[in-house]
Chain A
Amino acid sequence: MSEAVIAVALVWVAASGTAVVLTRDPLCQAFVAGFFGLGLAFLYLSLQAGDVALSQIVVGAIALPLIVLLSLAKVGKDRG
Chain B
Amino acid sequence: MTDFIQTSGKARNQWWDVWDQFRTHKGAMVGAAFFVLIVLAVFIGPWIWPIDATFIDIRARNQGLSWAHPFGTDQLGRDTFARMLKGGQTSVAVGLTAMALSLVVGTGIGVLAGYFKRLDGPLMRFTDLFLALPLLPLLLVIILLFRDPLRALFGPETGIFILIVFVIGITSWMQTARIVRGDVLALKEREFVLAARSIGTPSHRMILRHILPNVMSPIMVSATLGIANAIITESALSFLGLGFPSDFPTWGRLLFDGTDYLQQYPERVLWPGMAISLTVLSVNYIGDGLRDALDPRIRGR
A and B from one complex? no
Partner-A contacts on B (CB < 8 A): none
Partner-B contacts on A (CB < 8 A): none
